[in-house]
Amino acid sequence: MDKVEQTPHSPQDLSGPGFPAQSDRLGNHQEDDVDLEALVNDMNASLESLYSACSMQSDTVPLLQNGQHARGQPPTSGARSLQPQVSPRQRLQRSQPVHILAVRRLQEEDQQFRTSSLPAIPNPFPELCGPGSPPALTPGSLPPSQAVAKQDVKVFSEDGTSKVVEILADVTARDLCQLLVYKSHCVDDNSWTLVEHHPHLGLERCLEDHELVAQVESTMSSESRFVFRKNYAKYEFFKNPTNFFPEQMVTWCQQSNGGQTQLLQEPRHLQLLADLEDSNIFSLIAGKKQYGAPTDHGLCIKPNKVRNETKELRLLCAEDEQSRTCWMTAFRLLKYGMLLYQNYRIPQQRKASLSPFSTPVKRSTRMNVLGSQSPLHPSTLSTVIHRTQHWFHGRISREESHRIIKQQGLVDGLFLLRDSQSNPKAFVLTLCHHQKIKNFQILPCEDDGQTFFSLDDGNTKFSDLIQLVDFYQLNKGVLPCKLKHHCIRVAL
């Protein structure tokens, strides 16, 4: 056997070309931190080069949102070879970018593919598709938009206050009254009305519920105005026709409806007084003073075109208030006919549909701190508590109280209370019965040092006026009828 010479090898001889010598490793051991930072920089540079390579590939091969290649465009072998092997960790840290232009190009190609598969349909209007052709609808070809007409209406109340309300052109008098009732927090008992008042002419009338407010205002002068007021007699003739018309007239109408009709010939001496189609019936406020009428129960037929002139007014005069009410009601029925009955039935049907049971009237009672009704006892509150009620009108004259009763309707049971002008400690009850106004004095009386109020010389005594009114709303007593409606003035 040949002997192998054992030559000693130095550490430098054992180290390969890619491995540093041991002395070098030991000598460079102190510089490991610097080499680690350089290694991180090299990794970042390699990742940036990988990102740029992927973006170049996406320009040639469009990608969908899930990273897959588009249909009909498989990735080339060159592009596949350019993709480096990326670790799962790096794949999670950096996602593949999606270029919007590539996706849009794919959608356009799909749309072209779909439209190319459909049969060609000729365009019947090629002139409308040209770039230089005018638009099909010019700005002047469309009808102008009709804006909803609105206007402001100023409404006054009995105490002189007013409110401006914005309404539409088709708002009726009933609609405006319901709006004012809602804004004034009043009770909607279907007795509120809108009054057309002409102070310079001394005329006024109640608008019918179906009349348009804007149309009526167009016929009024600048001095005229609307008044928001109660009118309990607006449809009272449907409930009690005998109180508004003479008995022979009602009997003749009943016979005519029963089949016994008479042929009446028009007398030759009659002349046309006015055309009710273009006119309205008004009541005279002070006909005896302003127009020299024989009585204060006058009425007038006013054409709608008349604003300030008095030449074309047709003035009439009745003997008493009942006759004037009869004539004015007859004019209303002649002009509007069935519309009045429909206006009367609308609130009745609405009331029947909302509440099938009649709701009792809520009456005021005095309560003590424990919640039970307090006994009659002397108190300074009993002499002033009635001044907070709507039916008390304070220190007004006898004539003013009668005027308020007439304005708000001569119906049975319409009343108000006021201070007495002859006795400063007494009060007066003004009541309407059979279209006649009567006054009853309420006198104070003392019993065991306590002050009471009575209408029948102390036989029926009450601690305050609220209890007196509550009692006579339920009982007739010494009055001709029960207290049913109270005159009210609302501040707008």
The domain that holds 303 is classified in CATH as 3.10.20.90
* Per-residue pLDDT at 105 exceeds 80: no
Q: Are residues 194 and 283 in the same domain?
A: yes
Structural domain tally of the chain?
2
Q: Are residues 390 and 333 in the same domain?
A: no
Average pLDDT over the chain reads: 75
Q: Are residues 311 and 389 in the same domain?
A: no
pLDDT of residue 349: 81
Burial class (CB in 10 A: 0-12, 13-18, 19+), 286: exposed
**pLDDT top residue among 104 and 282:** 282
* Per-residue pLDDT at 486 exceeds 70: yes
Which of the four pLDDT bands, split at 50, 70 and 90, describes residue 472? Answer: very high
Q: Is residue 204 part of a domain?
A: yes
Q: Which domain holds residue 482?
A: 380-486
- The span from the first CA to the last CA of the chain, in angstroms, equals 137
pLDDT of residue 141: 57
Which pairing describes strands 450-454 and 461-462: parallel, antiparallel, or unpaired? antiparallel
Which of the four pLDDT bands, split at 50, 70 and 90, describes residue 277? Answer: confident
> Which of the listed residues 314, 341, 368 is the one where a domain comes to its end?
341
Which of the four pLDDT bands, split at 50, 70 and 90, describes residue 341? Answer: very high
Which residues lie below 8 Å from residue 316, measured CB to CB, with a gap of 6+? 298, 299, 300, 301, 327
Q: Are residues 437 and 327 in the same domain?
A: no
Using CA atoms, how far apart are residues 343 and 173, in angstroms rounded to an integer?
11
> Which of the listed residues 341, 368, 399 is the one where a domain comes to its end?
341
Q: Are residues 329 and 470 in the same domain?
A: no
Edge-to-edge strand list for the sheet holding 150-156:
162-168, 150-156, 225-230, 192-198, 203-206, 279-284, 298-303, 314-317
Q: Is residue 443 part of a domain?
A: yes
Select, from the ranges 9-23, 332-346, 350-364, the one with the highest average predicted confidence (pLDDT).
Answer: 332-346
* Per-residue pLDDT at 445 exceeds 50: yes
> Which of the listed residues 294, 315, 341 is the one where a domain comes to its end?
341
Q: Are residues 399 and 468 in the same domain?
A: yes
Q: Output Rg (C-alpha) for the chain, integer angstroms.
A: 49
Q: Are residues 410 and 294 in the same domain?
A: no
Worst-scoring range by mean pLDDT, 217-231, 305-319, 383-397, 407-421?
383-397
Residue written as token pair 């809602």: 182
Show the tokens assigned to 268.
């030759």
Q: Which residues of 3-19 are buried (b: 16+ CB within 10 A; e: fewer)?
A: eeeeeeeeeeeeeeeee
Q: Are residues 331 and 389 in the same domain?
A: no
- The predicted-structure confidence for 130-185, as pLDDT tens digits, reads as follows 555 555 555 565 566 566 688 999 999 988 889 999 999 999 999 999 999 998 88
pLDDT of residue 60: 47
Q: Is residue 67 part of a domain?
A: no
**CATH code of the domain containing 427:** 3.30.505.10
Q: Is residue 359 part of a domain?
A: no
pLDDT of residue 313: 92
Which of the four pLDDT bands, split at 50, 70 and 90, describes residue 376? Answer: very low
Q: Are residues 309 and 176 in the same domain?
A: yes
Q: Output the pTM of the full model.
A: 0.61
Of all helices (H) and strands (E), which one includes residue 428?
strand 427-433
Of 173, 214, 169, 179, nearest in space to 194 by CA: 173
Q: Is the alpha carbon torsion for 329, 330, 334, 335 positive or negative? A: negative
pLDDT of residue 378: 44
Q: Are residues 332 and 205 in the same domain?
A: yes
* Per-residue pLDDT at 100 exceeds 80: no
